[in-house]
Chain A
Amino acid sequence: MTANMTLFMVVVFAAAIWWGWEWPYIAKLMPVYVSALPGLVLALVQLFRDASRWEVRQAGVGGSIDMDDSHRGVADKRVELRRTLVFFAWFIGGALGIWLLGIIYSLPLLVFFYALVDGKEKLSTSVIMGVCAYALIWGLFEYVLEMRWPPGLLIGY
């Protein structure tokens, strides 16, 4: 799987080089010569390391602390996969909802349904959360800050 991520990087850098190759020098200096070409070379080296399981063999040798925090999964991989898919389904659903219904309706609905269905919170708690979300997004942004949100594709307001 790690190799797939590196392969994605290889494709991105290769596509950037292909796209920018015909640009004048001034325009391609940064994207092609400074970013994509070195990125491609490094990604190919990493791809070789992934394929040869170099990092696994080097684990614990000459290392130090990571710059980024690491992924914290759960012991049961099937549970982890299910929870991850459900999580992204909610997230994408929320984004789709904003596109279709508009942010004023969809975000409070997302908060309400997530708390009720996935979080198994009480109905009253979920309603309070949804109402608070609505109050914040409508009351604060539309009413107080006069920041007009665009309507959704299906519902206008």
Chain B
Amino acid sequence: MEEISLVDAALKGFLNILHLKVFLAMLVGVSIGTFTAVAPQGLGTPLVYAIMLPVVIKWEPVTGIALLIGASSVSAICAAYLPVLFGIPGGAGSQATILDGYPMGQRGDARRALGASFMAGGLGALIGTFTLAVAIPLAKPLIYLMGSPELFVVVLWGLSMVAVLAGRRPLKGLIAAALGLLLATIGQQEQSGIMRFVFDLPYLLDGMSISIIALGLFGIPAALDLALNRLGVEQQPVPLMGKLFDGVKDTLREWWLVVRCSFIGVWVGIVPGIGSQVVDWLAYGHAAQSSKDGGKNFGRGDVRGVIAPESANDAKDGGDLVTTLLLGFPQGVSTALFIVALLAWGFLPGPEMIKKNPEIIYSVVWIQGLSGIIGTLVGFALASQLAKLAQVRYSIMVPIIFFFVLMGAFSVTRDAADLLMVVGFGFLGYFMRRFGYPRPAMILGLVLGGLMERYLYRSMASYGFTWLARPAVVVLLILATTSFFFAVRGRMKSSAVKIPGTGGGDDS
């Protein structure tokens, strides 16, 4: 296959998205992403991906990518509604927004807080996209040094980060990841043809559907949260007052803060193991520490406390995609499911994709940038209407989630076993969450398990054990060990952080 230059790939990637169906898919994705970000307790991107996965993998790749990226990009931009109106997190990455967003809402500046959030989020998304676009040509020369052994080490590196990502419960994170790896081996082994854990059930021959597992693990606990807490009935929002444009002016005045925090977001996205749960807190802490007044107004409705976390949270998506597309290992559940979609379309994310399908990577870049702009415009244009959406009662939301979870699961193979699986993983998701076993770790194990086995098999078949002595493998192992060591040490040193409830399950 003839390789094309990156300039040609960027152009082709742009031409790929100039189709009506791609635009329509992006708009549908933006609408779904907006709804799930604004709807009570922020259903989160992982659930959207899990629901849409069985549908989009039957589409053409760029159309499916448009829907998925459109949904995830906008859901970060519109994630401020719940923190500002209800004082509850709208998902991971927008938790710190509560500290100043909610006091602003209480004093009658909810619109101003939302305006600042949209503007900062839109600018952050563009900076994240720009970083992704720049990272591709920079990474390409390095990518050519990588074969199966190096890729195996990269995947191992990604998996080792589970211990770090699992935060306060590294042991439970590793157990969950081991369970994910185990589930990934169910079915007929590609290399030997041996049936593993199939129990004479034809349904299990091709392995378990990650989509069904994700639906059960994330959809059911999200719906249960709504049913338990009865949002919209037992919890009421602050009134939507103030001016959106005041928030825009605030953000433009604090442009340097937006740039700094956006790069914090990009850095969190790129570096394995930091995770989306901390991005907003890092940006918030930076904003408070670097403010000229010593941060004395932070926590009392200071608009900078909204601008900082929102710009970082939105820029992080671009950083996430750098690692996902260029190295091939996910940074969270959403990117893990995005990898599953890419694999279903026949792309192998990572070095192979840069070599063989760079135009698809650039299509992702274009879609990411465009949907960031559209998401910001949607936020401004429909602020009042979306605020009403945030007040939808649990009694309407729960059956909608039931509908999509059951339909999404049943559409995978249309077998009754799909239903049994989604019920089973619904229970597992409930108990894992209740007893502190991180579900994203299990999904990471599930997605990376197949890749790990493939690269390990190829390495052993081609080089025996000598692959361990390849210079690039040694360098990557040193890098992985060093980053793992420093990340773990950093976590152990950090003081306990108590978050006022985390919601949404948006651990993308």
Contact = CB atoms under 8 A, between A and B. Distances in A.
Instruction: Determine if chain A interacts with chain B.
Output: yes
Interface residues of A, number: 75
A29 B452 CA distance: 11
Nearest to B493: A62
Contact of B92 (A16, A69, A71): A69
Interface in A39-78: 39, 42-43, 45-46, 49, 55, 60-74
A131 interface: no
Nearest to A28: B196
A5 B435 contact: yes
A63 B167 contact: yes
User: Interface of chain B, helix or strand or loop or mixed?
Assistant: helix
A65 B179 contact: no
B502 A115 contact: no
Contacts of A156: none
B407 A71 contact: no
Contact of B403 (A13, A65, A110, A147): A110
User: Interface of chain A, helix or strand or loop or mixed?
Assistant: helix
A121 B168 contact: no
Contact of B441 (A9, A67, A80, A136): A67
B478 interface: no
Interface in B240-296: 275, 277-278, 281
Nearest to A20: B196
A45 B171 CA distance: 9
Contacts of A68: 432-433, 436-441, 505, 507
B503 interface: yes
A150 to B, nearest CB: 5
B396 interface: yes
B423 A92 contact: yes
A66 B277 contact: yes
A11 B453 CA distance: 24
Contacts of B171: 42, 45-46, 49
Contacts of B483: none
Interface in B131-190: 165-169, 171-175, 178-179, 181-182, 184-185, 189
Nearest to B183: A35
B479 interface: no
A107 B406 contact: yes
A30 to B, nearest CB: 5
8 contacts: A5-B435, A60-B496, A67-B277, A73-B228, A87-B228, A99-B416, A118-B398, A129-B399
